[in-house]
Structure 1
Amino acid sequence: MLEIFVIAYCLYFLVNIYTSFMQVGFVKKAKNMPAIILDDSKYLEAGNYSIEKQKLSILSTFYDFVIFMLWIGVGLKLLDSLIVVEQGWLKAVLFIDAFIIINWILSLPFELYTTFKLDKKYGFSNMTPKLFIKDTFKSSVLFLVFGSLIIAAVALIIETLPLWWIWGFVFIFAVIILINMIYPLVRDKMFDKFEPLKDKELESKIEKLLDEVGFKSSGVFSVDASKRDNRLNAYFGGLGSTKRVVLFDTLIEKLTHNELLAVLGHELGHFKNGDILKNIGIMGVVMFLFFAIFGNLSEELFLKLSLNNEPYAIIAVFLLFSPILSFFLMPLVSLISRHNEYAADEFGSNLQSKSDLVNALLKLANENKSFPLSHPLYIFFYYSHPPLVERFKELGYDVYKVNNSAQAMKDDFRIDYE
């Protein structure tokens, strides 16, 4: 079975590399064509940013491949020999905590480069070393306390319950639901500063919009996201009584009231169409599949990894190999997600107006420097949202007609898309 997992990982690696190279070549060509959606200067800048991110991704993929091979070759065995503990749940906690911390340390150079070099170069990151250390410390405390408790619980389930993988799935699924409920509260207390909207006129308009679609929330808040990043965003956080509307201060600053209401209308479309429950259901099915696979692994797999078939080893194998399954399931999940995004756009445009939503998306694309074109294969594997060109087309806004010279680009790219 180890050979099957290794072959699957190699296939995952090759597809990752191939799609990234295709995307780099595509964007290199597209960025020198007449600009669409973005302003001329931002179009070129967004193209360059996309290319640099993909090149970094290619390097990171090669790096991860080496790390993966080291783990299955000697790493897991070495870590096992260093952690000599009799109690199964305690060994699982120590082993998995060490495994995750080592992986985080190994990935840290890429995180630091992205945050302090690449994103600062393109005007996104406002992160300071002090804030980065502060955020990292808080995240580490949360992981070591609550993550360790979850690992211990899963290990005890594996040790004591027959068909543990079913009960393990139920437990982890419940934990994820709980995390979604308390996420805004944790962000508020430990990371971000949530404040009631200072613009009372905007707050009144939002509350009216929420009442119109029957969305009950615990409030509308502004969050000081600009202390970390200049990108624009908004989200509905929490579940049940913890639901709240959260607007980035950058979004409030850049969008008009009507444009902001159109963005929220899109998000309310997800609520009204039941997408939140659908996504929870899809996540549950995928997770159940994962537990079914990793809960019935052969003894041979653990022997080849020089590990005992015990909770620590089962959880480690789950963490090591589950990204492969996720990657190959993502195209189907993303296809469903893209369909839902079109429906949410339609709902939001009807709730406010198509012109307001189009203008909001134009501003979001320009401020976030989102390059509007991608290779079809890259879209297939990685896009949970439809390409901007297609979203605008569904809203009745032809980005090529707005810039007549861009029609040549549309014709030039026909062979790439078809």
Structure 2
Amino acid sequence: MARKIGLYGIIAYILYGLFFYWYLFYFADTSLPFEYEGSKADPATFLNGRELMLSEEYSKIRNLLFFLSTPFEWLFYLFVLLAGLSGAFKKWAGQSSKYKIIQTAIYTIWLTFFAFVATFPLSYISYSLSKSYNISTQSFSSWMKDELIDFWINFGTMFIIVAVLYWLMKKSQKRWWLYAWLLSVPFTLFVMFLQPVVIDPLYNDFYPLKDKQLEAKILELASEANIPSEHVFEVNMAEKTNALNAYVTGIGSNSRIVLWDTTLNRLNDEQILFIMAHEMAHYVEKHLYIGIAGYLLLSLVGLYLTYRLMNYAVNRWGEALKIPAVHDIRSFPLFLMILSMLLFVSSPVSNFVSRYQEMRADRYAIEMTGNTEAGIGTFQELSRAGLSQVNPPLLVKIFRYGHPTMLERISMIEEYEIEKMRQSEE
């Protein structure tokens, strides 16, 4: 049975990979609808021939890597179970210490290490790809340092999850999912509160905006939206990437708006103010807190479904998977596999909500600044810097895009311009 499950898993993964290779390289049409040709959203109007070619090449390969990476993670966890590695980790942990908490830490470090080794080739391919297309400027040693930071953060997080989760499972085999969710609420909020001041600085240097003239303009814009001025930071990213970005992070007193220094170097002040207005919209419209609420609701449903699916899988295939009971720590790879599958399946919904919020923020930025030219120039430069497709394939948009496509963002601004012209004529 174990061999049959493993064989079916490998066949399913190969067929899945072939489908997305065919879809991305031969079936999907990324050309613009004819009504947008020659518009400001047409990449041919702001990218040269070489940039257009590189954009298509890079996007196809990067999207294929995305679709291959997540199911590969499922296949890895399935292999860990079928090969008895999860049982071996538990055995090694038991032989190393008589203390339960140390045994849990040893089990977790082995699983984290094997997962790191298994996924390292795909991570390296992704790094090499971005390097070859001049998106990444990061040295191998710097990239490896970030990978190792990821490893230890993943280990620490996973250790806490394993220790708490399996303690709850043994205390209540029918309600552990609910208690786990209740504990996850303060834990999630605590991590989000710490992230800007503890986790993010492990990777990059953050500091208040250096350009004081630009800072004065941003502060003036922020005051119009009643946003605390101390929440604007810049981060040193030029040594790692040529891509541009700005984002909102943290909650409460640690919340802040962050600008990459690449964004500051590549865009003019008017374009940066447009981005700032966009990020301020997330504060004004409480998108961060709406996102937290949505995440917590989704995690409640996800944990309940994980509980049901784990019981079903152990009852039906427990012997083949070498899992004697759900509350045995050997079932943890199954827990991670099911949770990852549910996150992947639910991503179209969460991405749809995110795209709606981002479109609202774009609209807010246009109305706040009144500078449509800066908005269009910003999105065109974002496309150029990241070699992103203006009109990506439908499945890529559904599963990958938490922002509207550049076609949607630029055309929305053009429609706003037309609307304003009509109003002025009336």
TM-score range, shorter chain: 0.7 to 0.9
Pick one of 344, 352, 355 that aligns with 1:338. 355
Distance 1:215 1:138, change over 3 A: same
Work out the CA distance in 2 between the residues paired with 1:171 and 1:128. 40
Question: Contact between 1:17 and 1:58, CA under 8 Å: does it hold in 2?
Answer: no
Distance 2:167 2:211 in 1: 51
Report how far residue 397 of structure 1 moved: 5.8
Equivalent pair of 2:131/2:137 in contact (CA under 8 Å): yes
Whether the 8 Å contact between 1:197 and 1:203 is mirrored in structure 2 is: yes
Q: Does 1:347 align with 2:347?
A: no
Alignment of 1:290-305 (within 5 A): 290-296=302-308, 297-298=310-311, 299-300=314-315, 301-305=317-321
Q: What is the one-letter code of the residue matched to 1:100?
A: T
Is residue 313 from structure 1 mapped to residue 330 from structure 2 by the alignment? yes
Equivalence for 2:424: none
1:175-324 aligned at under 5 Å gives the runs 175-187=187-199, 189-216=201-228, 218-296=230-308, 297-298=310-311, 299-300=314-315, 301-309=317-325, 310-324=327-341
- Which secondary structure does the structure 2 equivalent of 1:195 belong to? strand
Deviation at 1:4, TM superposition (A): 11
Deviations 1:143-163 (A, max 9, x none): 444542443233333333572
**Structure 2 residue corresponding to 1:359, chosen from 335, 353, 377:** 377
Structure 2: which 5+ runs fail to align? 417-426
Instruction: Give 5+ residue unaligned stretches, structure 1.
Output: 399-418
CA distance in 1, matches of 2:295, 2:7: 25
Kindly report the root-mean-square deviation, in angstroms, between the aligned alpha carbons of the 2 structures: 3.3
Call closer, same or farther: CA 1:314–1:165 in 2, change over 3 Å: farther
Percentage identity across aligned positions? 20
Give the Cα separation in 2 of the matches to 1:146 and 1:64.
18
- Residue of structure 2 equivalent to 1:329: 346
Q: Matches of 2:76 and 2:132 in 1, distance apart?
A: 28
TM-fit CA distance, 1:65: 6.3
> How many residues align structurally?
395
Q: Which runs of structure 2 are paired with 1:117-196 in the superposition (5 Å)?
A: 117-145=128-156, 147-160=158-171, 163-187=175-199, 189-196=201-208
Residue 414 of structure 1 is matched in structure 2 by none
Is 1:377 equivalent to 2:395 in the alignment? yes
Structure 2 SS opposite 1:36? helix
Letter in 1 for 2:19: Y
Looking at structure 1, the residues matched to 356 and 5 of structure 2 have their Cα atoms a distance apart, in angstroms, of 33
Assess, with a 3 A threshold, how the Cα gap between structure 1 residues 150 and 249 changes in structure 2: closer, same or farther.
Answer: same
**TM-score, length of structure 1 as denominator length:** 0.83
**Structure 2 length normalisation: TM-score?**
0.81
Deviations 1:347-394, CA, capped at 9 Å, x for gaps? 111111222211111111111111112222332333222221122222
8 Å contact from structure 2 (residues 20, 67) kept in 1: no
Q: Closer, same or farther in 2 for the Cα pair 1:367/1:213, shift >3 Å?
A: same
| Matched ranges for 1:16-165 at <5 A | 17-26=18-27, 30=31, 35-36=43-44, 38-40=46-48, 41-57=50-66, 60=69, 64=73, 66-74=75-83, 75-84=85-94, 89-115=101-127, 117-145=128-156, 147-160=158-171, 163-165=175-177
1:96–1:316 contact (8 Å) kept in structure 2: no
Q: CA deviation at 1:252?
A: 0.4
State whether residues 27 and 50 of structure 1, in contact with CA within 8 Å, keep that contact through their aligned partners in structure 2: no
Residue 247 of structure 1, CA deviation = 1.0
